[in-house]
Amino acid sequence: MTRNGPLALSFHALVMLFMLAPLVVVCLVAFTPENTLSLPTAGFSLRWFSAVFERADFLDAFYNSLKLAALAASLATLIAVPAGLALTRYSFPGQGFVNGLLLSPIIIPHLVLGVALLRLFALLGVNGSFAWLVFAHVVVITPYVLRLVLAAAIGIDRSAEQAAQSLGAGRVTLFCKVTLPMILPGVAGGWLLAFINSFDEVTLSIFVTSPATQTLPVRMYVYATESIDPMMAAVSALVIAVTALTMVALDRVYGLDRVLVGKQ
């Protein structure tokens, strides 16, 4: 029996078309010269892309998102690497609880997390703080890094570490020279995946941002409630481009098949 016959290929093509059609339409609308959301019929224009770069609020929100995503992804990686190595190499009381706790944000709706963090920040009196916004994003994206670190740590050959130890390598040297290079694809892939999720996060960010720390997805959401001109399509096209480029980098570094289906 043919694994991918004409019927299966047609079905997959229709699914891909269904998923990509909205993105393609948004990108096409971004090039319209008209004042309303419409497909370009009289030629393409960069008018609305120019308008985006003339808006200081959108540029500030973009830089906030970029800085937030990079910082949150880095902190999440610093947490996930030692946690992943500890969970895969040692047995200790409460190991399952720690593993479930670190991975739980991936299954909890971000709306619930947003309301909970909003209440927590209100009690602490830190609403609108960029540092606590970073904390909120770290909570959400750490499971993505941890999942890849766990997969990478389980698959490494421990004999190289044992050889380095027998030659007198200390713990720091062992980690930096042997362990880290072996799990580096998982660490780098986890960082990139965490960056994407943090950069695109809107549901949780709505609850914990302030005008001074507003991220690009939140600014887009607010603007969409005020206007429906094609500038929103231009911003969306830029976000799609940034996400697509990051996904290409993730595929080159780690492989999307390993990220999405856990293929080793």
Note the pLDDT of residue 255.
67
DSSP 48-59: HHHHHHT-HHHH
State both tokens at 149: 């670190």
Calpha distance 164→178 (Å, rounded): 8
Distance separating the N- and C-terminal Cα atoms of the chain: 26
Report the candidate in 220, 222, 205 with the shortest Cα–Cα distance to residue 130: 205
Calpha distance 208→224 (Å, rounded): 19
Calpha distance 111→129 (Å, rounded): 19
Calpha distance 242→148 (Å, rounded): 22
Calpha distance 12→50 (Å, rounded): 37
Calpha distance 68→33 (Å, rounded): 33
Reported pTM: 0.81
Note the pLDDT of residue 256.
66
The residue ranges of the chain whose pLDDT is under 70 are: 1-4, 253-264
Calpha distance 15→164 (Å, rounded): 50
State both tokens at 235: 């911003």
What's CA 148's distance to the chain center, in Å? 13
Helix axes of 95-103 and 130-155: crossing angle, nearest 10 degrees: 120
CA distances from 75 to 30, 106, 135, 145 (A): 35, 17, 9, 10
**Cβ atoms 132, 208 nearer than 8 A:** yes
**Cβ atoms 207, 54 nearer than 8 A:** no
**Cβ atoms 69, 199 nearer than 8 A:** yes
Note the pLDDT of residue 68.
94
**Cβ atoms 134, 209 nearer than 8 A:** no
Note the pLDDT of residue 1.
43
* Burial of 217 (C-beta count, 10 Å sphere; 0-12/13-18/19+): buried
With left for phi above 0 and alpha for psi between -120 and 50, is residue 135 left, alpha or beta? alpha
pLDDT in tens, 103-123: 888 888 888 888 999 888 888
Task: Report whether CATH 1.20.1090.10 matches the domain 55-225.
Answer: no
Domain ranges in the chain?
55-225
pLDDT in tens, 56-90: 888 899 899 999 999 999 999 999 999 988 888 88
